[in-house]
Structure 1
Amino acid sequence: MQTLKGPGLFLGQFADDKPPFNSLSAIAKWCADGGFEAIQLPMWDGRFIDLAKAAESKDYADELNGIAKENGVVICDTASHIQGQLCAVHPAYDVWMDGLCPENVRGNRKARQEWAMDQLVKCAQASKNLGLTEHATFSGALAWPFWYPFPQRDESLINEAFDELARIWTPILNTFDECGVDLCFELHPTEDLYDGVTFEMFYERTGNHPRCAINYDASHFVKQGLDYIQFIDFYHERIKMFHVKDSEFNPTGKQGFLSGYQPWLKRAARDRSLGDGQTDFGQVFSKFTEYGFEGWCVYEWEDCIEHPEDAAPKGAQFIRDHIRRVTDKTFDDFAGGKGDTSGARAILGLE
């Protein structure tokens, strides 16, 4: 066991063109003032990082680390959810996903995918230059439109989709391996990797790649009705990152986990600020402590009710309150035998 590290904050949902959310130095200070010890960088946001420069220059990466440190936090890890999403896109999502990529590759599936895969390579190299060992991303989706088995589909459809995912991601995983960085897939609805079974399907096809890992986020499991505590028991060896995010599932006679195409505020399954949802973080943090999780506890704010600037400092304290300092004592030491144990056979009545 070991004491968990945190709290950290994922900056993705806080980036803005107004201060203090428009530069690394300003947002780092804001995070430190709000009780955070670390920040997770979104590698798509040029307000915080020049990805190409960070991939090429160790000096620039050191400068970024210095800016964070001067303002009271450390850069704990990085994330590329947008770029990862674009590595594998079913044609049904082409127009939608084009809004997430540069204009020069829009309308060109091949160019968009090549851009996204190159972005992941740069993320690996930048993480190495920053001295980091974990990176979070999405898998993208080829099979998601067919998640429900009706109309009946041939098994080869899903097999081919996951075979292709492995072909896309294995060279990227190899680059991450060369850089000494774990690539942690966030298991998320609308991604082809959205639960334990789909992760296993992919992991097996990558040859159980040593850098293929998981970014654990219980909020996505609560909304699916998945046992998010047992998930840790099953996959703790592959969990290398931890997004601390809350959610709730309140089914009614009108809607269940699919939530009837409703906006977030009206969904039966929706994300909430820390402490306002249904996630049993007492058990989650205990499990991570028990298994000796080495990463950071990073708050990812998503809520349809509370303002993020109010939620963030409360989230920092929430995480701090859930981190257990690992004991160096045994609670029943006071009743322990202090005598000679050489007479064990006599004690057992065997002599």
Structure 2
Amino acid sequence: MRLGMLTACLPQWTLDRIAGWAAAAGFEALEVAVWPSTGGRDYAAAHLPVADFGPQAVEETRALFDKHGLALSAFAYYENNLHPDPARREEIQTHLRHAIDAAQALGVAYVGTFIGRDWTKSVADNLAEAERVFPALVDYAGERGVRIIIENCVMEGWHPDGYPGNLAYSPELWEWMFGLGLYLNWDPSHLTWIGIDPVETIAPYIDRIVHAQAKDVELDPAARQRYGFFGKVNKGGNPWDLGWWRYRVPGLGQIDWTRVVDRLYEHGFTGTLSVEHEDPVWGGDDERITQGLHIAHRTLRPLLVH
């Protein structure tokens, strides 16, 4: 198992700068954010130009990772592949194919994205739509030796009423999406706040957990007494603020990382455990973000076999 980090937390840094910092800080791999430079999501990062990724870019990227002794564990492009606007959906899926092409050129095994959801339709209609949409994407990836991995984030901020905006948040839905040929970028933080013990999801699905994200979550039971499980109704303009939980870097939340890592080892996980830093306490500027990454590293590194 390797300890890596997702580059999206440092959107203004170049990949060269991130790689140098990460190697010096003791990380072994990068999960590289590959949103288009035009953005899309407010925290998207464009660390490789996958839409225009010619032979020179391939060689430069290989040389960069070799220089710093890092692995490139996956590409990250987490967008809504069931977006209700047909034009926007096509943009997203076109860029996903660009990411798959670049992954093939670099020998990267995984490209991460979301199932997503058309929030104007029922869950049943969305599942049927995904069954229509995803086989072609899975085939496109498979023909190029790449697997599409789905993060189990709820993405409640994508839905106007705060309902799940990414239909991959539970083991029930994982079993459905595995039938479409998709794999899992397993993240315990999302499971924890929706009431699922993340440790208990490892053994049953280890054959599909090919990449994992290390993100913690802090729960506030007193606030939940006021808002309920579904969180605030009046979010003050921030659709992501449910009011009773927040993301933290590993070691500062509820997750028992000793149990998580032990169970991953027990069941033969040999992939990358990639720190995803979305901690508001250790955010806001580069110094605090990198300090948060150091905290995550100090928490996780002793648990991994050298």
Regarding TM over 0.5, the answer is yes
Matched, 1:298 2:297: no
Matched, 1:44 2:38: no
Matched, 1:178 2:153: no
Displacement of 1:265 in angstroms is 7.8
Change (3 A) 1:59 1:290: farther
Mapping 1:1-351, distance limit 5 Å? 4-5=1-2, 7-16=3-12, 21=13, 23-44=14-35, 46=37, 48-54=47-53, 57-82=54-79, 85=80, 87-90=81-84, 109-142=85-118, 157-189=122-154, 190-204=165-179, 206=180, 209=181, 212-252=182-222, 253-261=225-233, 262=235, 267-306=243-282, 307-324=288-305
Percent identity over the alignment?
A: 24
CA distance in 2, matches of 1:256, 1:322: 35
Normalised TM-score (structure 1): 0.74
Displacement of 1:69 in angstroms is 2.4
Over residues 143-167 of structure 1, what are the superposed CA-to-partner deviations in whole Å (9 max), with x where a residue is unaligned?
x577xxxxxxxxxx43322010121
For the 8 Å contact 2:230–2:242, the answer to whether it is kept is: no
Q: Which is bigger in relative contact order (C-alpha 8 A, separation at least 6)? A: 1
RMSD: 2.0
For the 8 Å contact 2:218–2:248, the answer to whether it is kept is: yes
Normalised TM-score (structure 2): 0.84
Number of aligned residue pairs: 277
For the 8 Å contact 2:250–2:257, the answer to whether it is kept is: no
For the 8 Å contact 1:249–1:257, the answer to whether it is kept is: no
Displacement of 1:246 in angstroms is 0.5
For the 8 Å contact 2:4–2:31, the answer to whether it is kept is: yes
CA distance in 2, matches of 1:249, 1:58: 47
Please tell me whether Structure 1 or Structure 2 has the larger radius of gyration of its CA atoms.
1
